[in-house]
C-alpha cells in the first residue's frame, strides 16, 4: 500500500499492519505483531482501532472462480433513462440484489454505471442480462464487453 494513499490519522505501524493483512488476512495477531515489529498487546489494540475506525472493513475468503465454474466475466455499461436522485437510488438498491454483479460503479461519462458480471458461461450471462440487469429500474440501454483473459483482478 502506498503511503500517499494512507490517511494522516494512521502512522507507520498502522500502515505496516494494513499491508501485512492485505497479503495474509488470516495471520494470527502474534504473527502480525512479529511482522510489524510490535509486541502482541499493542498490535492487537491497533488492529482493533483500525477495525473500529473503518480502515479495515472486514476479512473474506478469496475464491477460485475457475474451480467454482464462474470464469466468464463481462463488463456491462448501463445507461439510465433518467438520473434523478430517486432513479439512482432505485437502481442502486436493486443492483445490490443481483448476485452475479461483482462490482457496480457510477461513472461520469457517456453512460451511467459500469457493472462487473461473473457467470459460468455466455449463455448464463445472456440470461442475467435479459432477466435481471435489463429489468433494473430506469435502465434505458446496455452495452457488453466480454473479458477474454483477466490479467490482474485483485477484486476477487
Among residues 13, 17, 5, the alpha carbon closest in space to that of 56 is found at 17
User: pLDDT at position 154, please?
Assistant: 75
Pull the grid cell for residue 20.
501485512
The whole-model pTM stands at 0.79
Question: 3 pLDDT band (50/70/90 cuts)?
Answer: very low
Arithmetic mean of pLDDT, 84-98: 98
CATH of the domain at 33: 1.10.10.10
Q: Is residue 106 part of a domain?
A: yes
For residues 131 and 76, membership in a common domain is answered with yes
For residues 48 and 75, membership in a common domain is answered with no
Pull the grid cell for residue 38.
510490535
Question: Which domain range does residue 34 map to?
Answer: 12-53
- Residues 88 and 51 sit within 8 Å (Cβ to Cβ): no
For residues 41 and 84, membership in a common domain is answered with no
Q: How far apart are CA 154 and CA 26, in angstroms?
A: 17
Q: How far apart are CA 2 and CA 50, in angstroms?
A: 17
Arithmetic mean of pLDDT, 67-88: 97
For residues 81 and 36, membership in a common domain is answered with no
CATH of the domain at 89: 3.30.70.920
For residues 91 and 118, membership in a common domain is answered with yes
Q: Is residue 153 part of a domain?
A: no
For residues 141 and 89, membership in a common domain is answered with yes
Q: Is residue 47 part of a domain?
A: yes
For residues 45 and 71, membership in a common domain is answered with no
Q: pLDDT tens, 30-63?
A: 999 999 999 999 999 999 999 999 999 999 888 8
- Residues 117 and 102 sit within 8 Å (Cβ to Cβ): yes
For residues 41 and 79, membership in a common domain is answered with no
Amino acid at each position: 500500500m502506498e503511503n500517499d494513499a494512507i490517511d494522516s490519522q494512521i502512522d507507520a505501524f498502522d500502515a505496516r499492519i494494513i499491508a501485512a493483512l492485505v497479503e495474509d488476512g488470516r495471520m494470527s495477531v502474534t504473527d502480525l505483531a512479529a511482522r510489524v515489529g510490535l509486541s502482541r498487546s499493542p498490535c492487537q489494540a491497533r488492529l482493533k482501532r483500525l477495525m473500529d475506525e473503518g480502515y479495515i472493513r472486514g476479512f473474506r475468503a478469496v475464491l477460485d472462480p475457475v474451480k467454482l465454474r464462474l470464469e466468464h466475466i463481462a463488463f456491462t455499461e448501463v445507461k439510465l433513462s433518467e438520473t434523478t436522485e430517486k432513479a439512482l437510488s432505485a437502481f442502486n438498491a436493486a443492483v445490490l440484489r443481483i448476485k452475479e454483479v461483482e462490482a457496480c460503479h457510477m461513472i461520469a461519462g457517456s453512460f451511467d454505471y459500469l457493472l462487473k458480471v461473473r457467470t459460468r458461461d455466455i449463455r448464463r450471462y445472456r440470461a442475467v442480462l435479459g432477466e435481471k440487469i435489463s429489468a433494473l429500474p430506469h435502465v434505458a440501454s446496455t452495452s457488453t464487453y466480454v473479458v477474454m483473459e483477466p490479467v490482474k483482478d485483485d477484486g476477487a
